[in-house]
Structure 1
Amino acid sequence: MRIVGLTGGITSGKSTVSNLFKAHGVSVVEIDIGALVAVFGEETLQADGKVDRSKLGQIVFSDPVKRQVLNRLLAPNISTGIFCEILKLRLKGHKVIVLDIPLLFEAKMDKWTKPIDVVWVDPETQLRRLVARDRTYKEDAGNRINAQMPLDLKRSKADIVIGNTRSVEDFSEQFRRHSSKS
């Protein structure tokens, strides 16, 4: 069984790659973030029950103490929840499992994965996308980006880098090429 680590930064396109893996029949395990609601409140949920990343981001990226709380909260949930999911999928006979973990390196989960796929985007594109997605000011978006591990550092630790600065078609083609290696 092969366990692929998938990570990236805010607005890099990691969720798109995760969805592409799923669309190609690959099992993807995402971190369980239900405990976030207990700590950060119901306002972090969308109407469909999924986490509103924009609202959660506003809370944790504007306050370093809350960001540390988030990281401490996620660390045990990441390891326990993910290992349970991996075991279930392995027992079902899955040969490849993708771990979709934004904090792959920060949570030290990279030691359990090979290869490590990093979705990378240049800083200017990342900033532009975040401003557009969250309808926020450049300064706020820049602070959120700077609160994360730099994508260039993640890229340096990657086995496979999927660049996401061009068209959707180019991005999908890169995914097809790289997914055969993952």
Structure 2
Amino acid sequence: MRIGLTGGIGSGKSTVSRCWEQMGATVIDSDSIARELTLAGGAAMALIVAEFGPSIRSADGSLDRQRMRELAFTEADAKKRLEAILHPLIGAQTEARAAAAGTEFIVFDVPLLVESGRWRTKVDRVLVVECLEATQIERVVQRSGWTREAVEAVMAQQASRAQRRAAADAVIYNEAVKLAELQRQIKALARHWRPKP
């Protein structure tokens, strides 16, 4: 069973993915793969430097994320150009890891699952994690030190709540919920979604 897990920034998606992992599922995190690809010597770096120039590389040879974020907000096509490099490499990595998984559930943790348009055909179920927008902003500001405006700018680029709900087979509402309750909901979903023999 291939599950696509998604949610807006600060929704608590990482907590839900850890719950799946604790239940024995293989979790494949597309953001984590993107970070690996953009480390010094990562498979994407030569292509990114060729596309954006050497100033996009930080002193240690990895992607200068702050510079890339600035470019994405100031140049209309910068994000698309970066995605054109990263998405095929991420896709190849996720499939390789899924093929090696050998577990009953494979959870693809994909923040932009709805936005990408191509993930729906790659998974059996889509699970969306949601909370109030004010909670999303508060969580991201607390954990990353971003300004409220920076978080709102990222949220504005992500799919709307309605778009995510339209793509969902199930929604977990992660607002003032204790971890034990989240785990209970995920176990119930696993029972419901478990492939019938």
TM-score, normalization: structure 1? 0.78
Task: Give how far 1:59 is off.
Answer: 4.3
RMSD over aligned Cα, in angstroms? 3.0
Q: 1:140-178 deviations in whole A, cap 9, x for unaligned? A: 221111111123311221001011111333434333333
The reply to whether residue 80 of structure 1 matches residue 92 of structure 2 is yes
Equivalent of residue 95 in structure 1, options 97, 104, 116: 104
Distance change in 2, residues 1:77/1:106 (3 Å)? farther
**3-state DSSP class of the match of 1:106?**
helix
Query: How far apart are the structure 1 equivalents of 2:85 and 2:124?
Result: 25
C-alpha distance in structure 2 between counterparts of 1:85 and 1:128, whole Å: 33
The 1:19–1:71 alpha-carbon spacing in structure 2 relative to 1, beyond 3 Å, is same
Deviation at 1:60, TM superposition (A): 6.4
- Alpha-carbon distance in structure 1 between the residues aligned to 2:77 and 2:28: 28
Percent identity of equivalent pairs: 26
Q: Aligned pair 1:30/2:29, yes or no? A: yes
What is the one-letter code of the residue matched to 2:38? L
8 Å CA contact 2:114–2:163 kept in 1: the answer is no
2:192 is equivalent to residue 175 of structure 1? no
| Matching residue within 146, 149, 163 for 2:156 | 146
CA contact (8 A) 1:121 1:151 kept: no
Q: 161-170 vs 14-23, which deviates more?
A: 161-170
Partner of residue 127, structure 1: 137
User: TM-score normalized by structure 2?
Assistant: 0.73
Paired residues in the alignment total 173
Instruction: Give the residue type in structure 2 aligned to 1:178.
Output: L
Structure number with larger C-alpha Rg: 2
Partner of 1:109: 119
Over 3 Å counting, the alpha-carbon distance change for 1:58 and 1:116 in structure 2 is same
Superposed structure 1 runs of 4+ greater than 6 Å apart: none
Q: Which amino acid aligns with 1:132?
A: Q
Alpha carbons 2:24, 2:103 under 8 Å: kept: no
| Distance across 1 between alignment mates of 2:60 and 2:185 | 33
* Structure 1, gaps ≥5 residues long: none
Q: Residue type matched to 1:134 in 2? A: S
